Chain A
Amino acid sequence: MTAPALSLKNLCKSFGPAKIINDVTLDIAKGERHAIIGPNGAGKSTLFNLISGLYTPTSGTVSLNGTLISGVAPFEINRMGLSRSFQVSNIFANMTVRENVRCGVLHSLGQGYAFWKSVTSSKEVQEKTYEVLEHCSLVDKANTPAALLPYADQRALEIAITIAGGANVILLDEPTAGMSHSETDRAVELIRKSTEGKTLVIVEHDMGVIFDLADRISVLVYGEIIASAPPSEIRGDPKVREAYLGDEALPEETV
């Protein structure tokens, strides 16, 4: 049996006396689209930061494809095939869209820290950059400075940078936050398309998106996972309903 794409074991993280993540154990299989939901302040972003290496766990472990990655620097985790996006757009604002994507492509194509050759000398880099731009429908904005992009395009660029390195495990942190309906639909399409055959972990508030996209959903409340199951089961789970009571309504079957 192959190891799960991501495996969290008894993961805990405290800041001072505050326990933000408390004994989280979760396996995410290869190719699975896994959503993490929960009320505000439940620790979703902290969980992402733990997985992606920004934070070191207080205790417990994170494994990527069977390899222990807790305590490993983020850039090394990224090289092992895990890539993430951010809740607040985290792009290179002074560069053009094309340059942003190209930066994301560089390492996976073995460009390293080269300073003896032009960044345009590798045809592979050029092609891959174009491919990603096209994939994310950003080609016509390729030479626009990233800071001048409309919000939805910035979010698309965020995803583009995240997938550019060709990672197999993608973590998306609220990719559709703040978008209009039509923009959201476009984003979901993009996410679905770009994570074809990959493992996806997504944090979202928009339940429509979640139930549309996810194979399995974990519910995080006060740093603990109270349920982890396919969407249909989650919808009926009384514990989940209780946790969400008065927070936001779970979408009905018809949505």
Chain B
Amino acid sequence: MSIKTAALAAAVSVVAVSSAMADVKFAFIDPLSGPMGPSGEAGYTSFLLAAEHINANGGVNGEQIEVKGYDNKVNPKESLVQLQKAIDDGVRYIFQGNGSSVAAAIIDAVNKHNQRNPGDEVLFFNYAAVTPDFTNDGCSFWHFRFDAHADMKMAAITDYIQGQDDIKKVYLIGQDYIFGQAVAAAAESQLKEKRPDIEIVGNELHPLAKVKDFTPYIQKIISSGADAVITGNWGADMQLLMKAAAESGSEIPYFTFYGGSLGAVSALGEGAIDRLYQVTEAITNLDASDEQYALIEEYKQRFPEYDYYYHRAFNALNMFKQAAETAGSNDPIPVAFALEGMTYEEPYGTATMRADDHQLQQNLYISTVSKDVKYGVDNIDLGWKLLDGGKIDAAAAEQPTTCQMERPEKP
């Protein structure tokens, strides 16, 4: 029916061929249906392509890898059912990212599983659930995070806002769950420290993935007289927020974590230029090697409905490969120890998996929408362009951790 699925099929058929001989299995547990389905599919396709590349280059320690999708409908309980199913299918590595509520449940379940089934451990590679707690008080040896957490991203945003003297009033809107609450808390405390003169004129939390029409929320934002909005919204909640913002005709800038969510830029259209900002670990319009450009183009060609967005999916799988080859084993515990403190030369800089808390330290980039770009998004000619001084080095983005890691015995 749709082009989107046609392309996905191409990838699936490749994976289907390889699955027969796959030795290392990864489960991708994220929404593949419902309002957040497109977010999940964009991530899934990234992992599929990354796995395909690794397999084409001889696999990992000579073994082929397979990524299989499990639809969790962004529901923690359903995720655990899928997790159980995945483990029963022989999966040893889990990818998940959409929804910190789900990530929290998976961390808990993986901890219990590994405690109860020694010798049968699984690792959880978190590629997008960024509640800071997971690499602080709630840290776990079995969990690795490949995306900067909310405090890190918020620090980048508030640093930028610190220099914008015309912003006097800020409105916070987010999804009502641990992630949205963490974003709001980070924004509040960091703004208070960096710009005590800024007034927070609204702090709104709306239900996750349930709002169909954000018009009343946008009207509240306009009525509040805000000069800027900060939001951690992702997926459909980001896209629909932008749809309502575009309809209202207001010109308030939005500082976001996930302005790159599918359809958000096209919802705003040209209104997004210099008004929609995002903090990410990479954007396609950074200077990069030809190899990276080729990858971006290959992704777009294979999955025309999506854009190369989940750079961290490629990082995560490549880091797995590097760690497994360093350890000389594809088993979870050796891989986990090899990942700790490992440095990886990624296309846009150097990334380090901090051993203390399993939080990847990497460069962050603040970007906004522009017409003058190499790669557009949402199949229009607008794309993300780095702000002047928008690059934050990994060292500058680093935040302290309170993690007290408990490790199993090293093999």
- Are chains A and B touching in the complex at the 8 Å CB cutoff? no
Q: B residues bordering A, Cβ < 8 Å?
A: none
Q: A residues bordering B, Cβ < 8 Å?
A: none
